[in-house]
Amino acid sequence: MIYDGAVSAGTIFNSGHALFAIIIGALIILWILIGITNLGKVNIAAMTGLLLLTIILCVVIFRNGTPENAGTAMSFGAAVELSASMPLSWLPVIGDYTRDAREPIKASLVSTIVYGLVSMWMFTIGMGASIYAGTSDIAEICVRAGIGIAGLLIIIFSTVTTTFLDALSAGISAQSICKGLNSKWAAVAASIIGTIGAILFNMDDITGFLYLIGSVFAPMVAVMIGTYFFLKRDAEHQTFDWMNLVIWLIGFILYRLLMHTDFVIGYTLPDMLITMLLTVLAGKLFPKSISTERIVR
């Protein structure tokens, strides 16, 4: 995400992406150091500005553009898969971000609804950009529309406010593995590593990575749903379950195999349903699976 934001910002000003990667990385670290509890007014200002700028971008695309050939279309199933990968990968992030909410059910519900509505809006902008502007490059669209500075602000702040959550979650995950780590400084370290990676490596095509995300998180979420909602097992009071790990691995392999078949509904849903069924069946047949250590969250 740092790479994409830096490349887009660099395109607007016809410069390399390294400088903007450093700027975005520094802002992400600043967001982390300020902390979630102190980000109230800062986040409100950033989100309000992003909302207004995105409305402007949306109006520019659909009012001034003319329909053009959008290029070769992917299959509906492939589009479903790429659309499903990001929300699935965000589940742990949202869990880390809302874990201290006073009303977790309401916080999760609001997160889901807002994420869904805004995602549909963003997909609409992307589709409109491809059809009316003849390109899906947001930086090129901003340059053509004459909103270079506004476009730059959209790119940088949307990257910072989103990737900040990724880095924060990385810090929390690191702390859950190594109890002695400070989650905030682990998040800062993750941001630094991400910034260096964005400068050194080419990440123009991340389609394969999105499919990898889907193959990892789809069976993981299925195991979680089967264990918590159907087997009624609370992870906070259960020991580490090797059976669930094996089922996740089966789900992972199944996803990679299903990738070779183009289903109209994609392969995330079939993979999740099969993995969930295996989780419930294994839980019923082997209620006392092999366990090693207690999970502490």
Per-residue pLDDT of the chain (297 residues; tens, 9 = 90+): 899 889 888 877 777 889 999 999 999 999 999 887 777 777 788 788 888 878 887 887 777 666 666 556 678 888 888 788 778 878 888 888 777 788 988 988 888 898 899 889 988 888 887 777 677 677 777 766 666 677 777 788 888 988 988 998 999 889 888 888 999 999 999 999 999 999 999 888 888 888 898 899 999 999 999 998 999 887 555 566 889 999 999 999 999 999 888 888 888 999 999 999 999 999 999 876 444 444 444
Q: Where are the domains of the chain?
A: 2-65+133-202, 77-130+205-292
Contact criterion met (CB below 8 Å) for 61 and 145: yes
Contacts with 225 (C-beta within 8 Å, 6 or more apart), sequence order: 272, 276
| Alpha-carbon distances, residue 9 vs 28, 30, 154, 163 (angstroms) | 16, 19, 9, 16
CA 247, distance to chain mean position in Å, is 24
d(CA 27, CA 108): 27
Residue listed under structure tokens 């392999």: 253
- Measured between alpha carbons, how far is 142 from 54 in angstroms, rounded to an integer? 11
First to last CA, the chain: 28
d(CA 162, CA 6): 14
Decide: 97 and 35 in contact? Cβ < 8 Å. no
Closest CA to 208 of 120, 78, 73, 88: 78
By three-state DSSP, how is residue 137 classified?
coil
Q: What is the pTM of this model?
A: 0.78
Q: Where are the alpha helices (DSSP H) in the chain?
A: 2-12, 18-34, 40-64, 76-98, 104-132, 138-145, 148-177, 183-200, 207-225, 242-258, 268-285
Closest Cα partner for 76 from 260, 271, 262, 269? Answer: 262
